[in-house]
């Protein structure tokens, strides 16, 4: 498979057969991979039958490079696991698992199995802002949607530097107490953020003096910034996450109730934090890698072809607080994490 030569008329005959028996069956009969037949089909659709027959490819009739069953299964299973990914993101996720495959091969497999590429929207040039360290800045926003006929509110707190979700709440109504509660939970688990960025919604901001949330932040000595137009500090990162949630959860699942939605969201946010690669972090890192100061270690392992597709790979299943954690690495060495930065402690007897 992948070395047989075809002229344009032979390709067209295979495509006519595919209309009767299906692309995969026709490809099997022609002894080529089904993505090759799918490529021919796209060419006919773009050029028309007459122009397709007259087309003289640079290497006439050359077969496509064979795609192994193993690669095919890995590409399609990764896409199924992360249905919102495009070909580049699937390729990066596979690289994180120690598998190298070209974006072209990934795209061919996905398109032959129903993937429709997204139209790229040209972004206006502008100043890009990003915090310089974990917990320097957190973004907070509320996404409104319906579960059956009940209007609910998804409140998300996101670390700007790492895109790590510090916490979420799904509510049937919003209140200042819920906003304060979410921030307090995040502080208790991960440490205090220096600044919180929100819009001017009533639970975040009062036009007549400070509301209780603003007073709480002042008490904790946390700066409060407000998103505004034409300013680099926008809520773009958390709004992009809202879009992911809507596309991959809300538009796909029909929840029976709020509790079922909470369970699904908890699982999705864990996967988002610890398992799926993020384009905004270079395509190979997860938010947790960056939040916990493990970016260099993760990239070094990727370069060595080590599979990082673990829950999570660095040795502990959950992180109760990022200020200080003690773990054991793969060689049995003790590693102390102080403010997310690893400090290796050598094993040995005390001199005292």
CA distance 116 to 213: 44
The answer to whether 237 and 163 are in contact (CB under 8 A) is yes
Q: Where are the alpha helices (DSSP H) in the chain?
A: 8-21, 23-30, 34-47, 49-54, 69-81, 87-96, 103-112, 176-190, 212-219, 236-245, 258-274, 287-291, 295-303
Domain spans of the chain, in order of start: 8-54, 69-112, 138-274, 279-345
The answer to whether 245 and 257 are in contact (CB under 8 A) is no
Task: Determine the Cα angle at 137 with ends 283 and 246, to 5°.
Answer: 55
- Model confidence at 350, pLDDT cuts 50, 70, 90, reads very low
Least confident range of 96-105, 200-209, 333-342:
333-342
> SS3 of 202, please?
coil
The answer to whether 338 and 290 are in contact (CB under 8 A) is no
Among the four given CATH numbers 3.30.420.10, 2.40.160.150, 3.20.20.10, 3.40.50.300, the one describing domain 138-274 = 3.30.420.10
Sign of CA dihedral 224, 230, 232, 237: positive
Query: Residue 259, exposed/middle/buried by CB under 10 A (0-12, 13-18, 19+)?
Result: exposed
The predicted model gives 126-146 an average pLDDT of: 86
- Length of the chain (residues): 352
Beta bridge partners of 344: 335
Beta bridge partners of 45: none
> SS3 of 286, please?
coil
Q: Which of 131, 251, 152, 115 is nearest to 196 (CA)?
A: 131
Q: Which of 113, 110, 83 is nearest to 22 (CA)?
A: 113
**CA-based end-to-end distance of the chain:** 69
Q: Is pLDDT at 130 greater than 80 in this prediction?
A: yes
Question: How does pLDDT run across 28-57, given as a tens digit for each residue?
Answer: 788 788 888 888 887 777 777 777 777 776
Question: How does pLDDT run across 164-204, given as a tens digit for each residue?
Answer: 999 999 999 999 999 999 999 999 999 999 999 998 888 88
% of the chain exceeding 90 in pLDDT = 33
CA distance 279 to 103: 14
The answer to whether 115 and 78 are in contact (CB under 8 A) is no
Q: Is pLDDT at 60 greater than 80 in this prediction?
A: no
Q: Is pLDDT at 152 greater than 50 in this prediction?
A: yes
The answer to whether 4 and 31 are in contact (CB under 8 A) is yes
Three-state helix/strand/coil letters over 168-187? EEEECCCCHHHHHHHHHHHH
CA distances 130 to 95, 125, 137, 310, Å, are: 26, 16, 9, 28
CA distance 116 to 93: 19
The predicted model gives 1-19 an average pLDDT of: 76
Q: Which of 334, 351, 335 is nearest to 343 (CA)?
A: 335
- 279: which DSSP letter? G
CA distance 105 to 178: 47
For residue 351, the model assigns a pLDDT of 43
CA distance 136 to 47: 54
């Amino acid at each position: 498979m992948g070395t047989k030569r075809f002229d344009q008329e032979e390709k067209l005959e295979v495509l006519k057969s595919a209309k009767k028996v299906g692309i995969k069956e026709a490809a099997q009969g022609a002894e080529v991979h089904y993505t090759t037949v799918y490529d021919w089909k796209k060419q006919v659709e773009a050029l028309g039958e007459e122009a397709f027959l007259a087309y003289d490819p640079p290497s006439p009739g050359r077969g496509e490079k064979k795609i192994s069953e193993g690669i095919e299964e890995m590409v399609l299973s990764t896409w199924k696991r992360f249905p919102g990914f495009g070909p580049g993101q699937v390729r990066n996720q596979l690289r994180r698992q120690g598998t190298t495959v070209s974006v072209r091969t990934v795209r061919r497999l996905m398109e032959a199995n129903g993937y429709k590429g997204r139209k790229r929207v040209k972004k206006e040039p502008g100043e890009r802002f990003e915090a310089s360290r974990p917990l320097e800045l957190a973004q907070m926003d509320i996404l409104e949607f319906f579960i059956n006929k009940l209007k609910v509110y998804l409140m998300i707190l996101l670390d700007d530097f790492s895109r790590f979700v510090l916490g979420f709440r799904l509510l049937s109504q919003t209140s200042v107490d819920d906003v304060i509660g979410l921030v307090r939970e995040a502080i208790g688990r991960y440490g205090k953020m220096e600044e919180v960025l929100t819009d001017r919604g009533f639970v975040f901001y009062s036009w007549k003096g400070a509301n209780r949330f603003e007073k709480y932040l002042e008490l904790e000595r946390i700066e409060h910034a407000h998103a505004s137009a034409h300013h680099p500090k926008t809520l773009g990162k958390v709004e992009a996450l809202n879009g992911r949630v809507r596309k991959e959860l809300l538009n796909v699942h029909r929840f029976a109730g709020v509790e079922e939605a909470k369970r699904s969201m908890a699982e999705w946010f864990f996967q988002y934090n610890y398992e799926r690669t993020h384009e905004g972090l270079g395509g190979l890192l997860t938010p947790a890698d960056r939040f916990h100061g493990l970016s260099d270690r993760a990239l070094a392992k990727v370069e060595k072809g080590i599979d990082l597709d673990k829950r999570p790979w660095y040795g502990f299943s959950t992180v109760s607080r990022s200020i200080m954690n003690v773990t054991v690495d793969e060689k049995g060495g003790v590693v102390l994490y102080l403010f997310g930065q690893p400090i290796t402690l050598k094993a040995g007897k005390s001199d005292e």
